[in-house]
Amino acid sequence: MLVPEEGPAAVLALKDGTVIWGRGFGGAGTRVGEVVFTTAMNGYTESLTDPSYRGQILVITHPLVGNYGVPPDFESRRIQVEGLVIAALTEPSHPRSERSLHEWLQGEGIPGIEGVDTRAVVKRIRGSGVMAGALSVAEDPGDIDPEALLRAAREFDYESVDLVRPSLGPATMGVGGHHVVVVDFGIKGGIVRELVARDFKVTVVPWSWGLKEIMSLRPDGIVVGNGPGNPSAMEDGVELVRGILGTGVPTLGICLGHQLVALALGARVNKMKFGHRGINKPVRDLSTGRLSITTHNHGYAVDPSSLDGTGLRPRFVDVDDGTLEGMVHERMPLLTSQFHPEGSPGPRDASYVFDEFRAMVLAGGRH
Ligand SMILES: NC(=O)CC[C@H](N)C(=O)O
């Protein structure tokens, strides 16, 4: 047990009974969430502000975190994770840094723990699957009650928490001739930037707007975006996407959007044991054989054996473990990716997904 001699103490308690002491940073207090890990070596500002991470405590496996401070590379307006777990926090040194990682987390009241053997935590998660955890930071170690944290972790059920909330909309950007409506379940800014860069006029709308309001904008294309939580619990979201697909407007589904498309057309989505979170995941495009290194952040995946009879066909597959990473439809102007073609953070190898969507939109619904 490591109780720091100076500075705040912190405890990460996992549902399986593991209690880890470390040094606290960021905001004081206690947060509960699903504990997940990312193998990304950099891009922590983008990751921490990715709304898909809502309800989750993020473990970064890269050993040193914080060295380039906090540049203004955000995917949404605030930190979205419930807590941050790292091996070592470093002093920032970078011309684009506006403050330290510690100051940023402190300002937003998000607890962080350092001095953790993150490899041991990851081995536990990989062995037993993702599990709930509670993270507490306090000036005085005596104020932390590990038993209470374990109880809080045991009571937390990520599957049933409603985490979906629009992160950007409503807003219109870009001046292009073709109009794309982005359905916001917790959209990443990077997706919108990629669309604006392709000369679209882009309107981001909260998913709660419904089909009628979306169609009243007369979209030439629709993007069903990323977002947090369990897609199978989002009945209204699935219903909305079914309606969107019924209009025949060219549609791009990204991450949560890809999963909702699958559910809307009758396929199945399963929870993965510990998910894919990283920025160097190899994905094969089955239409060409082309390989891309891609960014992932997903804890659920579409079951490829459930595509029969839905009209959906596999388009992208993860080379490491065979996970279905994207789909097309036999008749509809539809393209989906489980990975993040915008990177943010990460490589842009697969940004041609946006080019292909643009071609679909320009073709006016004929694929
Ligand atoms: N990035 C996303 O859109 C994530 C989708 C979903 N919440 C998952 O974890 O699989």
pLDDT at 293 over 60: yes
- For a ligand 1 pocket test, name from 256, 294, 295 the mutation site with the most ligand atoms within 8 angstroms of its C-beta: 256
**How far apart are the two ends of the chain, measured CA to CA in Å?**
60
pLDDT at 1 over 60: no
Domain presence at residue 102: yes
Residues of the chain with pLDDT > 70, as a percent, come to: 98
Number of domains the chain is built from: 2
Domain presence at residue 329: yes
Domain presence at residue 15: yes
Same domain, 194 and 332: yes
Question: Is the CB of residue 298 below 6 angstroms from any atom belonging to ligand 1?
Answer: yes
Same domain, 98 and 50: yes
Domain presence at residue 71: yes
CB 74 within 8 A of CB 49: yes
Token pair listed for 187 = 């959209």
Same domain, 103 and 215: no
CB 29 within 8 A of CB 5: no
Confidence of residue 366 (pLDDT cuts 50, 70, 90): very low
d(CA 353, CA 367): 14
pLDDT digits (tens, 9 = 90+) for 233-270: 999 999 999 999 999 999 999 999 999 999 999 999 99
Same domain, 185 and 308: yes
Neighbours of 336 (CB within 10 A): 27
Same domain, 81 and 106: yes
Domain presence at residue 1: no
- Please classify residue 281 by burial: count the beta carbons closer than 10 Å to its beta carbon, then call 0-12 exposed, 13-18 middle and 19+ buried: buried
Question: Is the CB of residue 344 below 6 angstroms from any atom belonging to ligand 1?
Answer: no
Nearest of 76, 77, 56, 352 to residue 187 by alpha carbon: 76
Q: What angle do CA 276, 278, 284 make, to 5 degrees?
A: 70
Q: Residues within the annotated binding site?
A: 52, 227, 229, 256, 259, 297, 299-300
Distance from Cα 307 to the centre of ligand 1, integer Å:
19
Q: Identify the DSSP state of 159.
A: G
- The structure tokens 């994207």 sit at 326
Question: Is the CB of residue 228 below 6 angstroms from any atom belonging to ligand 1?
Answer: yes
Same domain, 201 and 327: yes
Query: Which residue type sits at 288?
Result: T
- For a ligand 1 pocket test, name from 52, 238, 274 the mutation site with the most ligand atoms within 8 angstroms of its C-beta: 52
CB 107 within 8 A of CB 132: no
Same domain, 262 and 303: yes
Mean pLDDT of the 73-87 span: 97
d(CA 188, CA 198): 17
Mean pLDDT of the 53-78 span: 97
- The structure tokens 């842009």 sit at 348
Among 120, 138, 159, residue at a domain's last position: 159
* Helix, strand, coil tally for the chain in percent (to 5): 25, 35, 40
Domain presence at residue 267: yes
CATH of the domain at 356: 3.40.50.880
Same domain, 101 and 248: no
d(CA 335, CA 333): 7
Which three-class secondary structure state does DSSP give residue 110? Answer: coil
Distance from Cα 276 to the centre of ligand 1, integer Å:
10
Same domain, 196 and 345: yes
- The structure tokens 């959906």 sit at 312
Number of H helices, E strands in the chain: 9, 19
pTM for the model stands at 0.96
Q: Which atom of ligand 1 is nearest to the CA of 300?
A: 10
Question: Is the CB of residue 225 below 6 angstroms from any atom belonging to ligand 1?
Answer: no
Same domain, 144 and 33: yes
Q: Reply yes or no on whether 62 is catalytic.
A: no
Domain presence at residue 165: no
- pLDDT at residue 4, as a whole number: 65
Same domain, 234 and 306: yes
Confidence of residue 3 (pLDDT cuts 50, 70, 90): low
pLDDT at 367 over 50: no
Among 133, 159, 185, residue at a domain's last position: 159
- pLDDT at residue 175, as a whole number: 87
Phi, psi of 131 (to 5 degrees): -145, 160
Q: Which atom of ligand 1 is nearest to the CA of 297?
A: 1
What integer best gives the mean pLDDT of the chain?
Answer: 96
Distance from Cα 131 to the centre of ligand 1, integer Å:
16
Among 159, 185, 206, residue at a domain's last position: 159
Same domain, 147 and 212: no
Q: Residues within the annotated binding site for L-glutamine?
A: 52, 227, 229, 256, 259, 297, 299-300
pLDDT digits (tens, 9 = 90+) for 201-241: 999 999 999 999 999 999 999 999 999 999 999 999 999 99
Confidence of residue 174 (pLDDT cuts 50, 70, 90): confident
Question: Is the CB of residue 326 below 6 angstroms from any atom belonging to ligand 1?
Answer: no
- Residue ranges making up the domain that contains 103: 9-159
CATH of the domain at 54: 3.50.30.20
CB 101 within 8 A of CB 85: no
Nearest of 249, 132, 230 to residue 185 by alpha carbon: 230
Catalytic annotation, pick one of 82, 179, 255, 298? 255
d(CA 220, CA 174): 14
- ipTM of this complex: 0.97
Query: Which residue type sits at 170?
Result: P
Nearest of 102, 60, 136 to residue 345 by alpha carbon: 60
Q: Which atom of ligand 1 is nearest to the CA of 228?
A: 7
Higher-confidence position of 160 and 281: 281
Neighbours of 366 (CB within 10 A): 8
Domain presence at residue 232: yes
- pLDDT at residue 195, as a whole number: 98
